[in-house]
């Protein structure tokens, strides 16, 4: 594995609790971002927080977001201070005490300024990265945007500079007294995300095969 630059947490991205859960490891950030399908974008609108789910894509140390040029939330994010959270839930953690019930998860919180990507070549590159994340193989398979479609989509770029990755894994935590005397069951219940069988659109001619980039798709494993 190549040597990677460390994450650069600042005060707001530095965890104040559970520092042992913080992995300041760029590879962990990449791995999580490559596996997750949805992120949650936070902006400040009229002084209040607004959080919306959206797709994303990663190329190196750049996170891409996109949406309609008419989207109020995307307009609010343009050139603004944003926060993007990406979470994968791995398991429900059952401890002997309710206090230590928890979840195993991996999450990233990224802060930065969302730069509008307006240069046509750069915008097409961003859209390609977004497409390859949402639906690997579709960039080669499906019709590319025409000028009108390209003009209607806004692409934003966010540097993966100020970010923290947090995770919990493994066994439940217990109090010594519960370990010694507790009788409640304890353990983890894995949470799994998988793809089901592809459902062709009604207008696809009968007998058309499902292309391999759809039929063979799997959730990217945590470690890459």
Where in 169-188 is the site for a second copy (CB under 8 A)?
171-172, 174, 178-179, 182, 184-188
Q: Does 139 bind a second copy (CB under 8 A)?
A: yes
- 4 counts as binding a second copy under rule CB under 8 A: no
- Choices 1-9, 19-27, 40-48, 115-123; region in contact with a second copy by CB under 8 A: 40-48
Q: Rounded to an integer, what distance in angstroms lies between the CA atom of residue 198 and that of residue 174?
A: 43
Residues 96 and 184: beta-carbon distance below 8 Å: yes
Q: Which two tokens stand for residue 111?
A: 């802060």
What is the smallest separation between the CB atom of 62 and a second copy, expressed in angstroms?
Answer: 19
Subset of 74-103 contacting a second copy (CB under 8 A): 81-85, 87, 89, 91-92, 94-99, 101, 103
| Cβ neighbours around 80 below 10 Å, total | 14
**Is residue 224 at the binding interface for a second copy, with CB under 8 A as the rule?**
no
Stretch that binds a second copy, among 1-9, 20-28, 57-65, 207-215 (CB under 8 A): 207-215
Query: Applying CB under 8 A, does 35 fall inside the site for a second copy?
Result: no
The answer to whether residue 198 forms part of the interface with a second copy (CB under 8 A) is yes
**Is 141 among the residues that bind a second copy (CB under 8 A)?**
yes
Q: Is the dihedral of CA 42, 43, 48, 54 positive or negative?
A: negative
If one asks whether residue 201 binds a second copy (CB under 8 A), the answer comes out as: yes
Report the residue number, 24 or 150, with the smaller CB distance to a second copy.
150
Closest CA to 29 of 51, 11, 8, 10: 8
What number of residues does the chain have?
224
Mention every residue, 6+ apart, whose C-beta is less than 8 A from residue 158. 62, 63, 64, 65, 82, 84, 110, 112, 113, 114, 115
Instruction: Select 81 or 120, whichever has its Cβ closest to a second copy.
Output: 81
d(CA 54, CA 56): 7
Q: Between residue 116 and residue 135, which ones bind a second copy under the rule CB under 8 A?
A: 127, 131, 134-135
CB 2, min distance to a second copy, A? 29
Size of the site for a second copy (CB under 8 A): 91
Count the alpha carbons within 13 Å of 138 in the hemisphere toward its beta carbon: 15
Q: 146: which residues sit within 8 A by CB, 6+ positions away?
A: none
Residue among 1 and 98 whose Cβ is closer to a second copy = 98
């Amino acid at each position: 594995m190549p040597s990677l630059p460390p994450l650069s947490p600042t005060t707001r991205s530095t965890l104040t609790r559970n520092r042992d859960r913080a992995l300041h490891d760029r590879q962990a950030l990449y791995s999580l971002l490559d596996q997750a399908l949805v992120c949650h974008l936070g902006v400040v609108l009229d002084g209040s927080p607004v959080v919306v789910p959206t797709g994303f894509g990663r190329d190196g140390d750049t996170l891409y977001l996109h949406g309609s040029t008419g989207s109020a939330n995307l307009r609010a994010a343009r050139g603004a201070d944003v926060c993007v959270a990406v979470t994968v839930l791995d398991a429900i953690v059952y401890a002997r005490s309710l206090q230590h019930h928890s979840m195993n998860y991996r999450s990233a919180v990224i802060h930065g300024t969302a730069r509008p990507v307006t240069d046509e070549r750069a915008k097409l590159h961003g859209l390609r990265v977004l497409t390859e994340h949402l639906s690997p193989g579709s960039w080669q398979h499906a019709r590319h945007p025409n000028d009108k479609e390209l003009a209607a989509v806004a692409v934003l770029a966010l540097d993966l500079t100020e970010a923290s990755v947090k995770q919990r894994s493994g066994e439940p935590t217990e109090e010594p007294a519960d370990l010694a005397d507790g009788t409640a069951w304890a353990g983890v219940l894995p949470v799994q995300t998988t793809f089901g069988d592809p459902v062709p659109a009604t207008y696809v001619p009968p007998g058309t095969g499902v292309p391999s980039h759809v039929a063979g798709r799997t959730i990217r494993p945590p470690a890459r």
